[in-house]
Amino acid sequence: MKANFIINGKAFEFEFAPHAKLLDVLRENGFTEVKCGCREGFCGACSVLLDGRLVNSCKIYAASAKDREITTVKKIGTLHEPHPIQEAFVEAGAVQCGYCTPGMVLATYTLLERNPNPTDEEIKEALDGNFCRCTGYVKIIDAVKLAAEKVKEND
């Protein structure tokens, strides 16, 4: 089947099997910033925003995302134009292998959009669906708090 998607503000048409998951269609078409982890909806590596809502793209049929707006971490910021959240993750030492980072950044982005001053508990709750095998989470929580400060400064 074929379907249209708006990805990071641009229109695309992709062909894929009816049962294909959004994660695979994105990665097969070059959006490799969306990472593949557990494929079971547990790790959050495959996070994207679908119409602004944080979802696990491994659990979504691509067909159900047709004509909808998909945002990957590259729309939030890039290596040369990083978002304050990405700067905060680097400065706080919250990026080691980096595999979880795209999902962590998107989860942080949606958290700070709805709650600019999260407590530690609120940060833990918001990142509950995103696993990190490297950092032990302490630096990630520090990064989210630093990100909150940076986002406020940039407003």
Rounded to a whole number of angstroms, the minimum distance from the CB of residue 101 to ligand FES is 6
Rounded to a whole number of angstroms, the minimum distance from the CB of residue 44 to ligand FES is 5
Q: How far apart are CA 23 and CA 28, in angstroms?
A: 9
Handedness of CA 1, 12, 80, 94 (dihedral sign): negative
For ligand FES, the closer of residues 56 and 86 by Cβ is 56
Residues near ligand FES (CB under 6 A): 36-39, 41-46, 56, 58, 95-100, 132-135
Residues 6+ apart with CB under 8 A from 135: 93, 94, 96
Question: What is the amino acid identity at position 145?
Answer: K
For ligand FES, the closer of residues 137 and 155 by Cβ is 137
Instruction: Please say whether the beta carbons of 44 and 100 come within 8 A.
Output: yes
For ligand FES, the closer of residues 76 and 101 by Cβ is 101
For ligand FES, the closer of residues 117 and 125 by Cβ is 125
Rounded to a whole number of angstroms, the minimum distance from the CB of residue 2 to ligand FES is 24
Rounded to a whole number of angstroms, the minimum distance from the CB of residue 153 to ligand FES is 25
Rounded to a whole number of angstroms, the minimum distance from the CB of residue 132 to ligand FES is 3
For ligand FES, the closer of residues 97 and 138 by Cβ is 97
